[in-house]
């Protein structure tokens, strides 16, 4: 099956610094990528949707100036957490969507996640 | 906003028993999907059921969908210790741009 990678898998940073997380689709072109965050023992919450070459669409309540998303190519999207604070500590998961199937459904593949800890 | 609510939140069973998890949602959907997540890891897609389907099987998994009640269930038969994980339903809402909205999840523990 298709593979989506994330880098780094975990990161610890100091409060006030910025952290960049990469999401790559390794063997397919992803027209759309999604970024989710997940708190311990909770569900995934969609943060934003990004399409290659255009601005990301953020979900309600997600600060676009704090969570910068860049979708520079069909295989790479980045999430930058700017001026990180301890409350930004979370598990961030990206997902990449491949082309439309005959059924009308899109295949969507998830990365392994990045655990961010802000001290 | 949270589309799906799952119950139970946590389930502990013995190996060999069946595990049933339920998911309820609020809006009309194109399809509903079930995912598995091992602790601290990414998601693994298990099964997808379309809105016009009522039941689907995949190995030891059986999924049902009742669109009139806006609910779905995931049954894992003859559970194994390796099935221990969190299970999430996710809905592809009608008119939602194919975005997935995840349920609250069920933490399953299968004991030897």
Task: Kindly tell me if the per-residue pLDDT of A33 is higher than 60.
Answer: yes
CB contact under 8 A, B30 and A115: no
**A chain contacts of residue B45, beta-carbon cutoff 8 Å:** 108-110
Arithmetic mean of pLDDT, B86-103: 88
Whether B2 contacts chain A with CB within 8 A: yes
The DSSP H or E segment spanning B11 is strand B10-14
Whether B99 contacts chain A with CB within 8 A: yes
Query: Residues A96-112: pLDDT tens digits?
Result: 987 665 566 677 889 99
Average pLDDT, chain B: 92
For residue A28, the model assigns a pLDDT of: 86
Q: Which of B41, B98, B103 sits opposite A113 (nearest CB)?
A: B41
Query: Residues A43-88: pLDDT tens digits?
Result: 999 999 998 888 899 999 999 999 999 988 889 999 999 999 999 9
Task: Kindly tell me if the per-residue pLDDT of A24 is higher than 50.
Answer: yes
For residue A1, the model assigns a pLDDT of: 64
Question: Cis ω on the peptide bond leading into residue A45 (within 30° of 0)?
Answer: no
Whether A105 contacts chain B with CB within 8 A: yes
Q: Are B98 and B44 in contact (CB under 8 A)?
A: no
More confident position, B42 or A92: A92
Q: Would you place residue B2 in the very low, low, confident or very high pLDDT band (cuts 50, 70, 90)? A: very low
B38 DSSP 8-state letter = -
CA distance A4 to B41: 13
For residue A101, the model assigns a pLDDT of: 58
User: In A, residues 10-69, which contact B (CB 8 Å cutoff)?
Assistant: 34, 36, 41-46, 49
CB contact under 8 A, B97 and A49: yes
Interface test with B, best of A2, A4, A21, A44 (most B CBs within 10 A): A44
Q: Computed over its alpha carbons, how large is the radius of gyration of chain A?
A: 14
For residue A100, the model assigns a pLDDT of: 62
Q: Would you place residue B1 in the very low, low, confident or very high pLDDT band (cuts 50, 70, 90)? A: very low
Lowest mean pLDDT among A15-19, B62-66, B75-79, B90-94: B90-94
Q: Which of A34, A109, A110 sits opposite B99 (nearest CB)?
A: A34
- The set of residues, in sequence order, having a beta carbon less than 8 Å from that of B7 and lying 6+ positions away, is B21, B22, B24, B106
Q: Are A109 and A46 in contact (CB under 8 A)?
A: no
Q: Which of A43, A103, A104 sits opposite B2 (nearest CB)?
A: A43
Arithmetic mean of pLDDT, B93-104: 85
Residue among A16, A56, A39 nearest B40 (CA) = A39
Query: Residues B11-56: pLDDT tens digits?
Result: 999 999 999 999 999 999 999 999 999 988 889 999 999 999 999 9
Q: Which of B31, B40, B105 sits opposite A105 (nearest CB)?
A: B31
CA distances to A74, B25, B89, B95 from B92, rounded to whole Å, are 23, 11, 10, 9
Q: Would you place residue B62 in the very low, low, confident or very high pLDDT band (cuts 50, 70, 90)? A: very high
Whether A86 contacts chain B with CB within 8 A: no
Interface test with B, best of A5, A23, A37, A43 (most B CBs within 10 A): A43
């Amino acid at each position: 099956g298709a593979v989506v990678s994330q880098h780094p898998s975990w990161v610890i940073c100091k409060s006030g610094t910025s952290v960049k997380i990469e999401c790559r689709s390794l063997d397919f072109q992803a027209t759309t990528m999604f970024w989710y965050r997940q708190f311990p023992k909770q569900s995934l919450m969609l943060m934003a949707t990004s399409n290659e070459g255009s601005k990301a669409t953020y979900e309600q309540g997600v600060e676009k100036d704090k969570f910068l998303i860049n979708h520079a190519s069909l295989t790479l999207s980045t999430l930058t957490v700017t001026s990180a604070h301890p409350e930004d500590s979370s598990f961030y998961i990206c997902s990449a969507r491949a082309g439309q199937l005959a059924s009308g459904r899109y295949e969507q593949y998830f990365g392994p996640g990045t655990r961010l800890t802000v001290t | 906003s949270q589309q799906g609510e799952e119950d139970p939140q946590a389930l502990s069973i013995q190996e060999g028993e069946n595990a049933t998890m339920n998911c309820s949602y609020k809006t009309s959907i194109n399809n509903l999907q079930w995912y598995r997540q091992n602790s601290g890891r990414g998601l693994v897609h298990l099964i997808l059921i379309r809105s016009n389907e009522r039941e689907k099987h995949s190995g030891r998994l059986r999924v049902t969908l009742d669109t009139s009640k806006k609910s779905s269930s995931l049954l894992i038969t003859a559970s194994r210790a390796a099935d221990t994980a969190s299970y999430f339903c996710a809905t592809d809402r009608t008119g939602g741009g194919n975005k997935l909205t995840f349920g609250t999840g069920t933490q399953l523990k299968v004991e030897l």
